[in-house]
A and B are shown apart, each in its own frame.
Chain A
Amino acid sequence: MEWLLEPLSSPIIVRALLASALVGVVCAVVGTYVVLRGIAFIGDAVAHAAFPGVVVAYMVGFSFYLGAAVAAVGTALAIGFVTKRSGLRQDTSIGVLFAGMFALGIFLFSTIDGYVADLFSFLLGNVLAIGTGDLVALVIMGSGVIVTVAILWKELLYATFDPLGAAASGIKVDRLEYLFLALVALTIVVSLQAVGIILVVAMLITPAATAQLLTVRFTRLMVLAALIGIASAVVGLYLSYWFDVASGATIVLVQTSAFVVALVLGPRGLLARRRPAPAADVVDGVAA
């Protein structure tokens, strides 16, 4: 037990554990909708787009979270707006905006004199650098996201599954789309410090993708994704502590391993026996 409890004597590790577990839950909940909508790329894009906000916050000296949030939410909404108004495909507008914003970040970064270690930790993440104030900010933003999803889960589910049917029944699908993009952006901001810009998409996508291999029920999928998110954050952090390796990368590797295990061993996995189609398929004699 010593090896499990020993790290907990350090407040740095305790904060890191709490922060990564929180990130695991928030990412899994929002990531479930992201995966089902098939817009995984947007997580990566918004994370990179947050970079100029982080740099400006550093240069001007105000809160990192504020800078990241303004840049990420702004870009997410701009992606939605450009897609709707320009007639371009969503992946095209994502590509244009995210590369532009990341370039702006690097441009601003290069104007800073000298070596700035803090900024590199945002590219690669450093969960051990999270202070008490950071943790409070993460909890506030994270619970904001979770509460919003809890209030709107019906509408989000309906609009994700059948946008036409949902819109026809009076759900404001357009407004919901913008709100959802903002939620994705806030989720990214919450996760940036734990895993960094480059790896944050894994936190968003991998637990939900793993859960999708294991269940065909929406609620179970979200719960399972959250559990995978928390477990991999905790396991990854412990591993990085024991072996003294990068925490963000270790957490993501644990998630990736869980995904591979589900892919191979899951009910529909590569090793699963190919079952004949269930009887339901032929009840009325028409192949689907």
Chain B
Amino acid sequence: METLTVAPAGPAHPSAPAAPRDHDHDHGPLDPAHALAHADVWLSDVTAGYGDRVALEHVTIAVEPGSLLAVVGPNGAGKSTLLKLMAGLARPWSGRIQVLGGPAGREARRVAYVPQAELVDWAFPVTVEDVVMMGRFPRLGRVRRPGPDDRRSVRDALEQVQMDNHLRTQIGALSGGQRRRVFLARALAAEPDLFLLDEPVTGIDATTQELLMDLLEAQAARGKTVVATTHDLACAAGRFQQVLAVNRTVVAYGPSNLVLDADVLAAAYGGHLLVIEGRTVVLDDAHHHDDAAPGERHFHDMGGR
């Protein structure tokens, strides 16, 4: 798909109401029936939010199998909400969502979702091995306990993220990068067809970022679909095939080199974008996640003890 969908340039401020949309643009260059039949993730004119607060409106996208897609946008743009809609964790107010050929949530065992690090209680008494084993739980069913196959799969996933020498470590004793690696290992151990990752490369060092992106690239090459939100535009540009820029609605969607140009980013980030001598800098706040959804607990001390 070498085309770029750019929404009509409306007022590029996050709080401004979305501009009225040209109907043709709603489906972009995609023929809806074709897109529905071939997409792993398909959203049609989806609007969603929490309480009376709109988080996303009129989102129409189709993500084909084998895609490696970065979702970018400023804080509060609806990136996490979009991921939750795909995971079936939030329901749209209007519009339709199809994931892996069924309504969102129906093919849950073929989906691995990794939440933002802030939503995890790192003091919880579980080890690295315990967390990755959770990725195997859905395929075990009700009564069955993890067996040798599951342990092998856990070991294998931890080898891939180079954490196999930390099996018995309590997760709170890990560094930020190690924590992200363990959660990716949990997703790998689930052997899903669709990875939904909320900020998988936020707050980690360059080496870990390369490692995680290599693994995700390999999964995409095998035909698995990867959708990840990120604040890291350099990573989105360099390591993802496709980028979806959102700011309450779709600002642009297409190959990363086309989406991540200064004009599109200006539309996505509004006043938070600074262009210096042709180089684009995003001025984002330091707090790297969206507001808590109702009922979510955020855990902020990450101190190992």
Q: Is B126 an interface residue (CB 8 A)?
A: yes
Q: Would you call A218 an interface residue if the criterion is a C-beta within 8 Å of the partner chain's C-beta atoms?
A: yes
Question: Are A169 and B127 neighbours in the complex by a CB distance under 8 Å?
Answer: no
- Asked, given contacts A36-B125, A284-B207, whether A169 binds B190 with beta carbons under 8 Å apart, the answer is yes
CA separation between A170 and B235, bound complex, in Å?
30
Question: Is there an interface contact between B89 and A154, defined as CB atoms closer than 8 Å?
Answer: no
- Subset of 18 A-B contacts with CB under 8 Å: A151-B143, A155-B137, A157-B126, A162-B115, A162-B120, A165-B115, A217-B126, A217-B127, A277-B173, A277-B304, A280-B166, A280-B178, A281-B173, A281-B175, A284-B175, A284-B204, A286-B176, A286-B203
Closest A residue by C-beta to B113: A168
Whether the pair A154, B140 counts as a contact (CB closer than 8 A) is yes
Q: Which of A161, A166, A216, A288 contacts B303 (CB 8 A)?
A: A288
Interface residues of B in 114-131 (CB under 8 A from A): 114-115, 119-122, 124-127, 130-131
CA A216 – CA B123 in complex, angstroms?
8
Q: Are B113 and A165 in contact (CB under 8 A)?
A: yes
What's the tally of chain B residues with a CB closer than 8 Å to chain A?
A: 56
Residues A280 and B134 in contact, CB atoms below 8 Å apart:
no
Residues B109 and A170 in contact, CB atoms below 8 Å apart:
yes
Interface residues of B (CB under 8 A from A): 51, 84, 87-89, 105, 108-109, 111-115, 119-122, 124-127, 130-131, 134-135, 137-138, 140, 142-143, 145, 166, 169-170, 172-179, 186, 190, 196, 203-205, 207-208, 294, 297, 302-305
Determine the distance from Cα of A221 to Cα of B127 in the docked complex, in whole angstroms.
12
Q: Which of B119, B138, B196 counts the most chain A CB atoms within 10 A?
A: B138
Known: A169-B138, A284-B208. A161 touches B294 (CB 8 A): no
User: A167 interface residue, CB < 8 Å from B?
Assistant: yes
The docked-state distance in angstroms from the alpha carbon of A166 to that of B196 is: 13
Chain A: interface residue count, which band?
35 or more
B112 touches A169 (CB 8 A): yes
- What distance in Å separates the Cβ of A176 from its nearest Cβ neighbour in chain B? 12
Given contacts A169-B138, A283-B175, contact A161 B203 (CB under 8 A): no
Known A158-B137, A168-B108, A221-B125: A283·B89 in contact at CB below 8 Å: no
